[in-house]
Every structure is written in C-alpha cells, then in structure tokens.
Amino acid sequence: MVISKSEFMMFLKHPTWLWLKKYDKDKLPLPDEGLQALFDEGSLFEQYAEKLFLPAQAGPNAVKLGYKNGNEFSGTKYYALPDLTKKEIEKGTEVILQGRFEVDPALGGAGSITSIFDVLEKVGDKVYDLYEIKSSTSVKPEHIPDLAFQTIVLEKAGLTVRNMYVLHVNNKYVRQGEIDPASISEKSDVTEEVRESLLETRENISKAFKVLKEKEMPDISPRHLKSGGDTLKEWLNIFQAIKGELPRYSIYKLCSPDPDTIAWLEDSGIELLNEIPLDGPLTAKQLRQVEAMRSGVQHINSEEIRNFLDALKYPLHFLDYETMAGVIPAFDGYRPYQQVPFQYSLHILDKLGGKLIHKEYLHTDNSDPVPTLLEHLQTDFSGKGSVISWFMTFEKNRNLEMGKICPKYEKFLTGVNERMVDLMTPFAKGWFVDKEFFGKASIKFVLPALLPELSYKELNISNGGQAQRVWMQTVLEGKNPEKKQQIMNDMREYCGLDTYAMYAILKYLEETCPTR
C-alpha cells in the first residue's frame, strides 16, 4: 500500500476521504468547473515561479522532471520518476524540479509513502532546500503538514533538508509589461513550523495506514472533519452520494457548523433543524435559524426595517458589478487576484412607485475594461439619491480601486460610495428572518424564499463565480467564439437579474413594513 502526499492531505481533511480514494473512488466527485479553474490558476503561477529556477539564458545546473507529456499525464513516466530523480541526485544536479521519491516509512511494513516535490535546491553534499509552490497569497496552515510529509519522504530517502519554503503569490505586485517572476513571487521560510510538526505528521501517517487496514468504510460523519467552510460543503456532497439525499431541513443544513457542533447534534440524536434545542451551543446566526425553523413563521423587526427604508433617498440606484480576477494580472496596473469590473447593471427608480429604468455596460473586447466602463457608468448615474448594493463592501472597494487606476473618475466614485446603502443589512442583522434563508443573508437564498417567481436556476449563468470564469474564457482566452454573442446575452441577463432582484426585494420590504 502506497500513500501519496495528496492522499495524506485527504486523510487530514477526513480519514474516510483517504479510504474512499483507495477503495471506492467513484464515490468522490470529479472537480467541478470552479475547482478546476483553481487548479488551472495554480498551474499558471507554477509556470512563472519555476522560471526562478530555470532561467532562459544562464544559471544553475537545473532540470525539470515531472510526468506530463504536454498536457497529458504519463503513468509510465510517473513510475519511472524515482529512478530519474536518484540519477539527478547522484549527478549533483543543483536544482531539481518535479522529482519523486517513494520510501518505506518504517511503520511495521504497513506500506510506503511517496511525494512529488516542486523544487529541490542543492546547498551541500546531499543537503537541500525544499520549496513548495502555492498560488495562495500567503502561507496557509495546511502548507505545513504538506511540507512535513515531503521532508519525511526526502530524509528517509537519504537526503538532508536544511530549510523549507513556501513560494507563494505576492499580491502587492503590480503588473507593468511582461510578468516578472521574481516580483510576482514571495518566499516564506517555514522551516521552524515544519520541523515542529514532523512528529505529529509521522503519527498521522501511521494513523492513515491504520485506516487503510479497515475492511469496511470508516464513519463518514462530518464530525471527523478537521475544519468547516468549503471543506464541509465538499464533504457533504460525498456524504450524500453515500447516504442519499439529505432531508431538506437536516441538521447538516445548519449555517456555518463546525465539527464539534455536528458531533453534539449527532450524539444528542437530533436529525432535523427544528429539533435543535434553543439553549444549545449555537452562534447568534444559528440560533436565529433554529428559532425560525421551530416557529415556522417569519421573524420581522418592523421598526428597524422601517428606519432603514426611511433613510433611503430617491432616485434609487441599484448597482452590481461583475468582475474578473486571476493570479496573473491580465492588464498593466493590476495586482494578482484583484477584482476588476468588466460589467455593471444599474436599475434606477426615480421615486416611490415610479418607473424603473435599466442601464448596463458589458465589456466584450480583450482590453482593460475599466476606463470604458467608468465612462458609461458616470453617464448613466444621477448626481443624487441612494446607491443600493448587496454586500456593499465589495462594490465600494472596487470603486476605490478604480478611482486609483483612473484618477479622473475618483471624485465621482467617491461620491457614489458616500451614497451607498447595503440592502443585505436587514437580513444580515436578523431584522428579517425566514427559515428558507437557512441562516444565510446571500441574495441567492433571500430571493427564492421571498420571491420564488424570480429564479437564478433557469439562467445559463447563475452565479458570480461562473460569470467571472465564462467571461474570462470567452473574452480574454478567446474560447467558443461561435457562442460569444449568446454568452454575452447570458451575462447581461444574469447581471440584470442581480439588480432587478434588489429592486424586487426592496419593494417586498416596503409592502411588508410600510414607511411612516
């Protein structure tokens, strides 16, 4: 039995993740388009980071091994990698990229462990510095056991690892012309943290082999996850693939649960949200969700909502941006992962009960979208009245950034920010709670609960992540040119619904809580 580094990281997320990977991998979902896009971003940054060790002209005696033939993975080359790596070590090659070792970790014959390393840099006789290339903008907690596992493999193979580094993205880098690999990368020394985690990592390797000795699948409960958030969301997809579709109001639909809360619910024999006691260890958001489930009716703080509505000034401007973002800035003047608006939708209501007008702009050329977008936005905006957004921090930050990029619009954008109101506030603060929100304040939860006739589900583009990905592929990468017009129409329909939905939700609040 062989455990690779990626499989070990699965084990650290949830022990059953590793067991399924080895014995029933069909239960594990394939990466969706969003996850695949993250992988692609990682590969793109890796290409630039590797240039620090593989200079085009002069430089160290360096070699890249790996097991790809073009874009295809070669199983034959993968199995040959350890021998190829040993040969480069014996030759005294100064820098080795994408090599692999497989070793017996001396765990009573349990099996072997293997790892492909990103970069080994020779600093002495069989002494090396180890680099892990990550497309994040900082060192993350999971990077430490990742490097600890690699260190154990390398040192078991007879090498000495002097220092360990994470080579990650420098998000303060601003593109000007060709990408500078040295400037877009940042090196963080994590040697001390990795050394401190080696003992725990060895113990976890032993535990991982014990899991693989199990004849039957271990407990798949989310209580065994090491964290919540996106990891929980990903695991629940696996959980449902094995257990079947969860009840609509299952305890696993509790908003932002951590593994300890799930363990408490399971140990208490609780299966549904409306069975959860109100005196349990719940956060304020979770308590509101459970109260709404138990009562079955909406909770509405009419006074707070009326105060919120009374503060609005007409004409109302409902504003939403769609943005692009990538690890490698597409245009000069931008940073890695900077959210750059390429589209806006603007619905304008001149007075209470007045006529709703729609304005919009969508950039369709492979060029910096901001100058033209701002030209249209300034023309479409009125000089007074509230500007309504959902989670306004996002739109405000985009305006601040665009003002720095295009200073002639800075005063205009500052004025927009000063007039901005967050329509998410009544829902985020718990002034309006419905059990169908599932503890969330996202418009994607609020809209179908209050106005089910308005739905994103029928749209070809149904969320911001998809909009970003599809626009970048179509406009920046030039993919699917024969479908470009339809895709642009889909983009307009999606972004337009975002601002119309805000208007419709505001109207719902006005009818539910009439202003004085």
Please determine, for residue 56, whether its predicted confidence score (pLDDT) is greater than 60.
no
Would 45 be classed as within a structural domain?
Answer: yes
170 and 241 fall within a common domain = no
The string of DSSP letters for 52-64 reads: TTS-SSS-S-EEE
480 and 397 fall within a common domain = yes
Query: Domain range spanning residue 183?
Result: 2-212
Would 467 be classed as within a structural domain?
Answer: yes
What the block records as the tokens of 340 is 């750059």
Confidence of residue 38 (pLDDT cuts 50, 70, 90): confident
192 and 259 fall within a common domain = no
Which residues does residue 113 pair with via DSSP β-bridges, in sequence order? 3, 103
- Dist. CA 456–CA 448, nearest whole Å: 9
202 and 308 fall within a common domain = no
161 and 194 fall within a common domain = yes
9 and 112 fall within a common domain = yes
CATH of the domain at 51: 3.90.320
User: In this predicted model, what pLDDT tens digit does every residue of 355-411 receive, in sequence order?
Assistant: 999 999 999 999 999 999 999 999 999 889 999 999 999 999 999 999 999 999 999
Indicate the residue among 295, 318, 347 that finishes a domain.
Answer: 295
Question: Please, which residues have CB within 8 angstroms of residue 342's CB and are 6 or more apart in sequence?
Answer: 322, 323, 324, 362, 363, 369, 373, 471, 475
506 and 383 fall within a common domain = yes
pLDDT at 422: 98
Task: State pTM to two decimals.
Answer: 0.92
Please determine, for residue 73, whether its predicted confidence score (pLDDT) is greater than 60.
no
Would 217 be classed as within a structural domain?
Answer: no
pLDDT at 58: 45
pLDDT, average across residues 38-65: 83
Indicate the residue among 212, 236, 268 that finishes a domain.
Answer: 212
Question: Residue 397 in 3-state DSSP?
Answer: helix
345 and 199 fall within a common domain = no
User: In this predicted model, what pLDDT tens digit does every residue of 192-237 receive, in sequence order?
Assistant: 999 999 999 999 999 999 999 999 999 999 999 987 777 888 898 8
Nearest to 348 by CA among 339, 338, 358: 358
Would 434 be classed as within a structural domain?
Answer: yes
pLDDT at 180: 95
263 and 167 fall within a common domain = no
36 and 6 fall within a common domain = yes
Indicate the residue among 274, 295, 316 that finishes a domain.
Answer: 295
Question: Residue 288 in 3-state DSSP?
Answer: helix
pLDDT, average across residues 241-269: 92
- Dist. CA 305–CA 455, nearest whole Å: 24
- Dist. CA 249–CA 275, nearest whole Å: 10
- Dist. CA 33–CA 40, nearest whole Å: 10
Are 124 and 162 within 8 A, CB to CB? yes
37 and 172 fall within a common domain = yes
What the block records as the tokens of 121 is 């840099």
Half-sphere exposure of 476 (CA within 13 A, CB side): 18
- Dist. CA 484–CA 422, nearest whole Å: 33
Are 105 and 71 within 8 A, CB to CB? no
Cis peptide before 369 (omega within 30 of 0): no
- Dist. CA 488–CA 319, nearest whole Å: 19
Dihedral angle of Cα 78, 80, 84, 89, to the nearest 10 degrees: 80
